[in-house]
Amino acid sequence: MWTAVTLWTALSIALIAYVASAAHAIARGGGVLVWIAGAFAWYFGVVVLLAAVYFAIAWIFRSPRPRELQITPGATLRLVWREYATLAGAAPRMMFYRWLVPDPPPEPVNVPVLLLHGVLCNAGVWHRLVQHLASRGVRGVYALSYGPPLASIELFATQVEAAIGRIVQATGASRVIVVAHSMGGLVARAHARRYGTTRVARIVTIGTPHHGSVDAWLAMGTSLAQIRPGSVWLAELDSAPLPAVPLVSVWSWHDSMVAPQTSARLPGSIDVPLIGIGHNALLGDEAVFARVEAEIAAARAATTGGDR
């Protein structure tokens, strides 16, 4: 809710100011088409600036990559374009998240899925994965929007526990599989540390900075402070045992927002490194979709019923 409200408010204010400026200029003889084109240039230009900052930081603080993992100039262009396109579409997906990613109707499901988003996001970022899973006949997929956005990860963990309670009641299941992107993976681990894994079948993290990311220094907030490399909170989390369920870490050597990229490696987890994919583009990547679907199938096959 908080992220969507913030986006709606900020864009509404910007639009009103832009329209007022355009009306004044047009009344003085300015071109209408120029101002219409300018609106699109303004939005997509902001996204270009954000993407440039993220990629610059990711490059400066990058993890050393083995020669065989380096990508060609063409692959680099695809990497940048896919990340840019994902960022450009993120705001609309988060603004309309209630319609794009609604909760499924209550029905019996063997091991439902709970999706956890990253910092400053909401459930809307999962739209493409939810669509993919639906097309594959995977039922019982829920996406939680927690907040306020910059509050403590520990608060988010309590909201996850409440969401799991609602999901198991709606589906009749005893456990869920948690799939988390970015900070969401830390939320999942914080939840397991506090509440245990009695109601969690397995955890899949996607692009999660398990050991922090320098990007967290770009803004203020409790959750961002917790994600900064060397934070007390991360040290305490790492000192706790890993969740007593299968934990899979899917990540990219070319992540554009987790720097250094190998921060996503978590000793004791199942390590699934990818190449040539940006941080946000992981949420729309076919290889990631396939791995998530396989983990859901494995979790469901391990329990009685094995349905989708």
CATH at residue 59: 3.40.50.1820
Residue 129 lies in a domain: yes
Question: Which segment of 1-5, 109-113, 284-288 scores lowest on mean pLDDT?
Answer: 1-5
Query: Residue 116 belongs to what domain range?
Result: 1-303
The 10s digit of each residue's pLDDT in 14-60 is 878 877 887 777 877 777 787 777 778 888 999 999 999 999 999 99
Residue in the structure block whose two tokens are 């983990």: 295
Which residues, in sequence order, are CB contacts of 223 under 8 Å at separation 6+?
Answer: 119, 149, 150, 151, 152, 153, 156, 183
Q: Pinpoint the alpha helices (H) of the chain.
A: 2-27, 32-60, 73-95, 97-100, 127-135, 153-171, 183-195, 222-227, 232-239, 286-301
Residue 270: C-alpha distances to residues 5, 204, 205, 263 (Å): 37, 9, 10, 14
Residue 12 lies in a domain: yes
Query: DSSP letters of 181-212?
Result: ETHHHHHHHHHHHHH-STTEEEEEEES--TT-
Using CA atoms, how far apart are residues 164 and 177, in angstroms rounded to an integer? 10
CA nearest 184: which of 105, 283, 112, 307? 283
Residue 308 lies in a domain: no
Residue 186 lies in a domain: yes
Residue 269 lies in a domain: yes
Helix (H/G/I), strand (E/B), else coil: 234: helix
pLDDT band at 238 (very low <50, low <70, confident <90, very high): very high
Residue 291 lies in a domain: yes
- Residue 200 pairs with which residues in a beta bridge? 176
- Residue 100 pairs with which residues in a beta bridge? none
The 10s digit of each residue's pLDDT in 68-97 is 999 999 999 999 999 999 999 999 999 999
Record the tokens describing residue 103, joined without a space. Answer: 């909760």
Q: What are residue 142's phi and psi, to 5 degrees?
A: -115, 145
pTM across the whole model: 0.94
CA nearest 284: which of 133, 138, 116? 133
Residue 45 lies in a domain: yes
Using CA atoms, how far apart are residues 290 and 4, in angstroms rounded to an integer? 29
Q: Give the Cβ contact number of residue 306 at 10 Å.
A: 12
Record the tokens describing residue 182, joined without a space. Answer: 């970015």
Number of folded domains in the chain? 1
The 10s digit of each residue's pLDDT in 123-181 is 999 999 999 999 999 999 999 999 998 999 999 999 999 999 999 999 999 999 999 99
Residue 282 lies in a domain: yes
